[in-house]
Amino acid sequence: MKYINVLLLFVCFLSACSSGTAIDGRAPNQFEIAYHDFALKLEDSSFCYKIYTKAYSAAGFNPKGYQISYKRSSCLYDLALKTKNPYFCNDVVSLSTALLDGSKISKENCIKEAEQGRRAETSFSFNKTLLMTAMGYSEDMWPDEVKREFQEFVSIGSDESRARDLAWDSFYLSEIYKNKNDFQNMASKLPAFIE
């Protein structure tokens, strides 16, 4: 029985529950995860503000202070660090539970780290196909290099669905960096998830 209790506590820790205290909010959706990425790549805080204020992410194995955060706050925090502009820290709100410590994602720490020039370490995984098609992009718009890449993946025996996902990933990066203004304009029309 002791081992079952330890296992349950461990599962609870990984899933962000906290001694009977429910977190008011929900996990971020694919759009909100993408908005965080858009904000950093385009250096545009308007995408952070499209994220629901109570959408949160938790990772119990992260360093203490960074185990849980509101997605909008972590977006603004990362943007402040990337741009070394503490102005973006003004709306950063901290979140912690009895088991998960998110105290470092705070307005005060954000200002301090942005002023010190600390770099944001971020990596996002989201459905590029979903986001790009929602923005109005289609496979017909793929540049020749992306079309060739797709054909190469298929010709070496890759699953066509996986090859298509990889092509959309390449197209996303191509558009956000090479056609920044068009991309930003199309992305700005995506829905906001506000209260």
Residue 81 φ/ψ, nearest 5 degrees:
-70, -40
Please compute the mean of the pLDDT values over residues 30-51 and round it to a whole number: 96
Decide: residue 71, CB within 10 A, 0-12 exposed, 13-18 middle, 19+ buried.
buried
The last residue of a domain, from among 73, 105, 126 = 126
The 10s digit of each residue's pLDDT in 81-136 is 999 999 999 999 999 999 999 999 999 999 999 999 887 777 789 999 999 999 99
Indicate if 71 and 108 belong to the same structural domain: yes
Q: Can you give the residue range of the structural domain that contains 29? A: 24-126
Indicate if 114 and 175 belong to the same structural domain: no
Q: Which two tokens stand for residue 174?
A: 């191509």
The last residue of a domain, from among 126, 154, 172 = 126
Indicate if 158 and 84 belong to the same structural domain: no
Structurally, how many domains does the chain consist of?
2
17 falls within a domain: no
The mean pLDDT value of the chain amounts to: 88
